[in-house]
Amino acid sequence: MRAPALFALFAGATCIALSPIWVRMSDVGPTASAFWRVALAVPLLWAVAALVPRHPASADRRQRWLLAAAGLAFAGDLAFWHWSVQATSVANATLLANLSSIFVTLAAWLLWRQRPTGQFLLGLALSLVGVALLVRASLGFSSTALLGDAFGVITAMFYAWYLLTVKRLRDLGYATLRLMAVTTTLTAAILLPVALASGETMLPAGAGGWLVLFGLAWITHAGGQGLITYALAHLPAAFSSVGLLLQPVLAAAFAWALLAEPLVALQIAGGAVVLAGIYLARRGAN
């Protein structure tokens, strides 16, 4: 197993685990922070993509439709997830968003009649039990926690749509770096009018606020996604899927250390069951 790829996998998971911390620390609204997350990453991604000459000069009509769908799906993913982080606990928001891999397999079952394995169904059942425990724990947090949990599940649905669309584009030969640059640009274009229409605070109050947004854009989005994209190309799929489960664990740890957000026993139990379910489901889907 290649050491650089292994390092990239865990470094990428760590970068993405910081995402909810940036969102909570930001002094702009959740939709606005989602916009800046991609908008500030756009120049960096295009600069990196320009260094790699091997990519198609233009997309055909089919690819353009898929790119538009990927941008819309990622915009929905970010908007709902940023709202989820603000409304419920970081642990719940992150764990529920990781249900995306289960929704990917369910979509393949419903759309393309790809029958799931018994191991996947067991993982699905476990995940549902874990989600029920997390929701039960949310009842003691705040009046918005249940809504935040619901947003976390919707986030997973949008991200599953994004993953399926990106996989199709990659199967058609679309280069990874250019794909990230184009979809990030489209996502920013979609989120800007939504953020403006929401009436949220769009601009941070000072330099510290901009540093938070740049951390969200450059460390989490460009750095985290880029490192994981590299790792997935060089590591076995089964190992990578397990390694990425480190991300919600790290997010909960960061929230505890940096935001003083404690974990109750029921939440820990629910999180463990959800992670076990996702692990089985991913193994059963490979």
**pLDDT tens for residues 61-82?**
788 899 999 999 999 999 999 9
Separation CA 121–CA 285 (nearest Å)? 10
Interval 278-283 mean pLDDT = 76
pLDDT of 215 above 60? yes
What is the C-alpha separation between 172 and 164, in angstroms, rounded?
Answer: 13
Return mean pLDDT, the chain. 85
The span from the CA of 224 to the CA of 184, in Å, is 14
Q: What pLDDT is attached to residue 53?
A: 63
The pLDDT tens digits for 2-43 are: 778 788 888 888 999 899 999 999 999 999 999 999 999 999
- Residue 285, CB-side half-sphere exposure with 13 Å CA sphere: 22
Sign of CA dihedral 30, 34, 37, 40: negative
What's residue 143's pLDDT?
A: 74
> What band does 283 get if pLDDT is binned at 50, 70 and 90?
confident
Buried b (16+ CB within 10 A) or exposed e, 169-198: beeeebbbbbbbbbbbbbbbebbbebbeee
The residue ranking higher by pLDDT, 167 or 159, is 159
Structural domain boundaries of the chain? 3-285
Compute the distance between CA of residue 37 and CA of residue 243 in angstroms, rounded to an integer: 24
Q: Which pLDDT belongs to residue 238? A: 55
| 107, amino acid identity | A
